[in-house]
Amino acid sequence: MSLLNDHVVLVTGGGSGLGLGVARHCLAEGAQLAVMELSAAKVAALREEFGADVLVLQGDVTSLADLRACREAVLERHGRLNALIGTQGIFDGNVPIAEMAEDRLYALFDEVLSVNVKGYLLSARVFGEALQASGGAMVFTTSTAAYAADGGGAAYSASKGAIRSLVNQLAFEFAPHVRVNAVAPAGIANSQLSGPHALGLSAQKQSDIPTDAFLSMFRSLSLLQELPTPEDHGPLYAFLASRQNRIMTGQTVVADQGLLNRAVLTRGD
């Protein structure tokens, strides 16, 4: 039996990168899938790839109206929701704050924290009742930047640390009916995280970094040398979203290829 048979699963931010890889894996595991995505172009691509069997909705995770419309569409089509998987996020360009104009910090903080944190908070509120009714699960996305410096700039790292803490609190508030967990990836091949408008980086993506340079940096830090794809993360999200997970809530699974486990100093021969 597939892991997500008889599960209605909604993936927010599922139009590209990690979210698309997770959505594809959930579908392969038997889920009745719905995807919410902001970009109209990505929505069109999703509908072309998945066809009529997958409910694809355009919406903004920072908008209560869009989230409510998504909830109503999912419930109208499927009558229930078993899992909410949140994968949306934006990067901050890893720009040190000392190199930013002071008057841009307000906009940067508001933009990054709005998508990366408020989007999850609003989603939990809007979909919480449906998930309580089904004994379901929330699975959100944080980052190794929540655990160690230099995984992003100050705004991104602060947002990812906030998500980790938010998961702890939501698990407490929704217990015992809803399991709330997170995944913290490190490097991801073909990451589509874009930069913030506040710094003029919205057209740039993490995948724009030259492949050789990114791989060299990744392999110098990680114990496992293969850079994982978005689809490689799918099994973690699928398990946490499924009824097979009967024992984990309030947890963040660090999927870092051993990045945080390496020695500070390399021993000599």
Taking the C-alpha atoms of residue 67 and residue 72, their distance in angstroms, rounded to an integer, is: 9
The better pLDDT of the pair 256, 59 is held by 59
The better pLDDT of the pair 249, 90 is held by 249
What long-range pairs does 59-64 form, CB within 8 A, spacing at least 24? 61/12, 61/13, 61/36, 61/86, 61/88, 61/115, 61/119, 61/120, 61/122, 61/123, 62/114, 62/115, 62/118, 62/119, 62/122, 64/122, 64/126
**Is the pTM higher than 0.75?**
yes
The better pLDDT of the pair 50, 196 is held by 50
pLDDT digits (tens, 9 = 90+) for 4-63: 999 999 999 999 999 999 999 999 999 999 999 999 999 999 999 999 999 999 999 999
Q: Strands, DSSP E only, in 106-264?
A: 137-141, 179-185, 252-255
pLDDT digits (tens, 9 = 90+) for 240-252: 999 999 999 999 9
Residue whose tokens read 């994982």: 228
The percent of residues in the chain predicted with pLDDT above 90, rounded, is: 68
AA identity, residue 83: A
End-to-end Cα spacing for the chain: 50
Tell me, what's the pLDDT at 249? 98
Residues 264-269 have a mean pLDDT of 52
The answer to whether residues 258 and 224 touch, using CB atoms and an 8 Å cutoff, is yes
Residues 188-192 have a mean pLDDT of 64
The better pLDDT of the pair 95, 167 is held by 167
Most confident range (mean pLDDT) of 84-88, 187-191, 261-265 is 84-88
**Other Cβ atoms within 10 Å of 42 Cβ, number:** 20
267: pLDDT strictly greater than 60:
no
The answer to whether residues 2 and 30 touch, using CB atoms and an 8 Å cutoff, is yes
Is 156 one of the annotated active-site residues of the chain?
yes
Q: Strands, DSSP E only, in 110-246?
A: 137-141, 179-185
Taking the C-alpha atoms of residue 223 and residue 232, their distance in angstroms, rounded to an integer, is: 17
pLDDT digits (tens, 9 = 90+) for 206-226: 555 555 655 666 666 777 777
Read off the pLDDT band of 188 (50, 70, 90): confident
139: tokens are 């699975």
Domains of the chain: 8-258 (3.40.50.720)
Q: Find, among 267, 157, 150, the residue nearest to 218 by Cα.
A: 150
* Active-site residue identified among 120, 147, 156, 237: 156
The answer to whether residues 17 and 193 touch, using CB atoms and an 8 Å cutoff, is yes
